[in-house]
Amino acid sequence: MSSLEIDLRRKDRYEDIIRAINEYGSSVKEAVFENLPDELMVPYQRIRELYIQETTRGKGRVDINSLIQLYMNVPKAEELLRYLLLATVLFMGFRNLRNEVIYRVIRRNYNMVSRLISNPDYSLINEVSMKLLNDYEGEGIKGEDVQEVSNAVHSFVYGLRKLTKAYGTTLLRWIPKFRDINDFEKALPMFYPPRANERRKRAIRTFIRWVSHETNLPVALGVISRSGYRRYTMIADVYSTMVTIRSGAFLVLNNDHAMKILNEILVNKDSGVTIKVDEVKGLVRATGRLSNDPIIYERGAFRIGHEYCSRLKCNECPLNKVCMKFTWVNIK
């Protein structure tokens, strides 16, 4: 399919693109789970096994309290959740953010990080922050500030201490109690630096995505049992936006905004066009919602964008046969 074959009456064409993105999203893991320390891979796999076991036994239904108890019997289950939470909190600690670099850095420094996770004490913040920063910059990334890293780690420690000491609970008990994904999102900022910006929203929603879907780490049982993941608000970053726009998936919406963007794309075919993420964020999120599973859609779109679309590897791309190939569109 090429851009010359646009037919807005054929909604099924664009539904096929969305379906292909979802199929790819279902076939891959979140990068963080591919980079877990060996000590946390076992609880990750065991929690997933227990969830499948209990949902199969209950024919799709689960007793949340019973499943929480089973999870609590899994060694290092709480540590795994704290590790994942810290990974997203660190999104706010580095100016030049590279998600997969963060995953590698905290994995390499797991022995030190595990001390902080097991005993969230303020006295450990400086040591942990400096070590993470040095290792991060060792990947060739410059211009970072240890104070920013320290602020992020401090917020993580503060939030965990508040949860365990003031609330008298743990992540493993606390997370499954949320029934509404929006309420869950509103409760999470206590773990993050107090800057209400897009970076914090991205960090929080990443954590929500990791624990609120059966194909990731199914711990937000109240949300999952009510299919609350369908109300997840996509981050709509550069990669997922790139795939949604270049592939033509957004044309399924066929509204005024979509038509405006399509016209902008077509009239600039020869010269190229740059579209800002913020300009089409609403379109990307609406397209993801129409997929009926925005978490899977976002995972698929992000990975395709990162591994294929950004590198113009069209021939190898899993969307090759259905994509509109608006490759002259740049996303900023």
Q: What is the pLDDT of residues 69-105, one digit of tens each?
A: 999 999 999 999 999 999 999 999 999 999 999 999 9
Percent of the chain with pLDDT over 70: 99
Residue 4 confidence (pLDDT) above 50 = no
Nearest Cα residue to 244 out of 208, 215, 279, 218: 279
Give Cα 39 distance to the centre of its chain: 22
pTM score, two decimals? 0.94
Confidence class of residue 62 from pLDDT cuts 50, 70 and 90? confident
Confidence of residue 1 (pLDDT cuts 50, 70, 90): very low
Helix (H) / strand (E) containing 275: strand 273-275
Nearest to 176 by CA among 54, 262, 286, 59: 54
Q: CB of 14 within 8 A of CB of 249?
A: yes
Strand extents, DSSP E, 81-173: none
As a whole number of Å, the CA-based R_g of the chain is 21
Query: Of 329, 320, 281, 326, nearest to 20 (Cα)?
Result: 320
Give the mean pLDDT of the chain: 95
User: How far apart are alpha carbons 234 and 301 in whole angstroms?
Assistant: 11
Q: Hunting for tokens 């309420």 — which residue is that?
A: 183
Say whether pLDDT at 261 is over 80. Answer: yes
d(CA 70, CA 161): 24
Handedness of CA 78, 84, 88, 90 (dihedral sign): positive
The answer to whether 32 touches 38, Cβ cutoff 8 Å, is no
